[in-house]
Structure 1
Amino acid sequence: MIGLVLAAGAGRRLRPYTDTLPKALVPVDPEGAGTTTVLDLTLGNFAEVGLTDAAIVIGYRGEAVVERKAALEKKYGVKLHLVDNDKAETWNNAYSLWCARDILTEGVILANGDTVHPVSVEKTLLAARGQDRRIILALDTVKKLADEEMKVITDPAKGVRRITKLMDPATATGEYIGVTLIESSAAADLADALKTTFEKDPDLYYEDGYQELVNRGFTIDTAPIGDVAWVEIDNHDDLKKARGIACQY
């Protein structure tokens, strides 16, 4: 199993940082000096749970990741493989994850390049492996939800039933935080579902690919992460929160 980071997005709401950097390289250290980024934190988490290889899907300002590749490998002891998303600025991340379809065959812990979270999330997912679980989503069942979150409805016997932002928060079981364990045995099914998803609408999310899988009868499981501090960075308010959280880990 290896790590996989989706880091192709532009993150235009984080300008001026993202004028020259992908969102995954926006500084989250308290001083904002750039010594710590989301990518740093994620690679550190991967290393802590024993992963020695990771792939990064790059696109917008991907040259910034290329420039830091050797330094990141040395710092975290993780061999990095870069995957190019040629449509990063025009298509959504269902296509971005599909670009890494060959990587999925190795089994991955997938992390969005804009999610600041503790290593306990990866540990929770790894502990939930087994019993024919092929895809396991990290789920926050504690946070109070609103309209913007990627919400999930689960059934104790059938796993995920719905995953979308477009639902009444009161009906949701929890929020998907952007970290998934994907076993190698799920790679072909997931790649096909992602292809169907972006061919239907290139603006769809990879979570819509998860929904496509569920609709086909594929069981997707979840693992509650408990009451932990994490944040998805979409704007400058989120970035401020991220800096407060990052200094805790």
Structure 2
Amino acid sequence: MLAAGAGRRLRPYTDTLPKALVPVGAEGDPDAATVLDLTLGNFAEIGLTEVGVVVGYRKEAVYERQAALEAKYGLKLTLIDNDKAEEWNNAYSLWCARDALKDGVILANGDTVHPVSVERTLLDARGDGKKIILALDTVKKLADEEMKVVVDPERGMTRITKLMDPAEATGEYIGVTLIEGGAAEALADALKATFERDPQLYYEDGYQELVNRGFRIDVAPIGDVRWVEIDNHDDLARGREIVAGH
């Protein structure tokens, strides 16, 4: 799980907390769930026992909660330090977790509130030689800010970028991916090439680099589910609605 980002648009929460620890439960509740809580709960529900969490900005807040989170969710957490979290974008952040990828993982962004059905959809899509599977929302109406994906029925994902006419896109990547261990080395190499080209690029640009090299990336449509990427206070309000409705 990537939890190294600062989330400056969520101040004042993120003056002292990383984005993944901003409360998305009821406002004012000292025990309100965070995105980290919700995602760990999903992981525990599908039977995972170990989780790697990439930390950077305000990482001490995650270290302080590590033991309590392990006890609450029955998971072993390995915290992976990203030493450039405040300067570089998340292509480097995911590369920091390259050793963890070798065991096969479900990757989740630290700002995506989503139901456990997303993880189950990815697990159900495994097999047939698939190495990387992206969770794709093909229902939502897209605008400029979304991470848009074009899928070819024969070749899998062909493009992933925010910089695309929404009308061209098959759907939106929601920030959750199943990565088989066999893809780890190729992905790590593509991520390294990506952040060396420009440290401000996203790990999704690393996915594009992989596809450009001839590597196949598949997608799994998640259906009509409620989820949100929390970038700002409006998103946070929507996240709280989703959590309240669970």
Query: Shorter-chain TM-score: what band?
Result: over 0.9
Specify the SS of the correspondent of 2:70. helix
1:71 aligns with 2:63: no
Q: Percent identity?
A: 78
Aligned to 2:29: 33
Aligned to 2:88: 91
Specify the SS of the correspondent of 1:167. coil
How far is the alpha carbon of 1:242 from its aligned partner?
A: 0.3
Describe the superposition over 1:126-164 as per-residue Cα deviations: whole angstroms up to 9, x where unpaired: 000000000000000000000000000000110000000
Aligned to 1:129: 126
CA distance in 2, matches of 1:77, 1:238: 29
Aligned to 1:10: 6
Unaligned runs of 5+ in 1: none
**Which residue of 133, 151, 169 maps to 2:166?**
169
Return the letter of the residue paired with 2:59: G
How far is the alpha carbon of 1:248 from its aligned partner?
A: 2.7
CA distance in 2, matches of 1:89, 1:246: 29
Q: How does 1:195-234 map to 2 (within 5 A)?
A: 195-234=192-231
How far is the alpha carbon of 1:246 from its aligned partner?
A: 1.3
CA distance in 1, matches of 2:56, 2:203: 16
The root-mean-square deviation of aligned C-alpha atoms, in Å, is 0.6
Pair 115,32 (structure 1): closer, same or farther in 2 beyond 3 Å: farther
CA distance in 2, matches of 1:214, 1:108: 19
Q: How does 1:139-158 map to 2 (within 5 A)?
A: 139-158=136-155
Unaligned runs of 5+ in 2: none
Aligned to 1:19: 15
Aligned to 2:103: 106
CA distance in 2, matches of 1:49, 1:228: 18
Aligned to 2:44: 47
Indicate the larger mover: 66-75 or 29-38: 29-38
How far is the alpha carbon of 1:32 from its aligned partner?
A: 4.2
The runs of at least 4 consecutive aligned structure 1 residues that moved more than 3 Å come to none
Pair 32,131 (structure 1): closer, same or farther in 2 beyond 3 Å: farther
Aligned to 2:245: 248
Aligned residues: 245
**TM-score scaled by structure 2?**
0.99
Specify the SS of the correspondent of 1:109. strand
CA distance in 2, matches of 1:74, 1:40: 12
Pair 16,151 (structure 1): closer, same or farther in 2 beyond 3 Å: same
Return the letter of the residue paired with 2:241: G
CA distance in 1, matches of 2:23, 2:42: 17
CA distance in 2, matches of 1:32, 1:156: 47
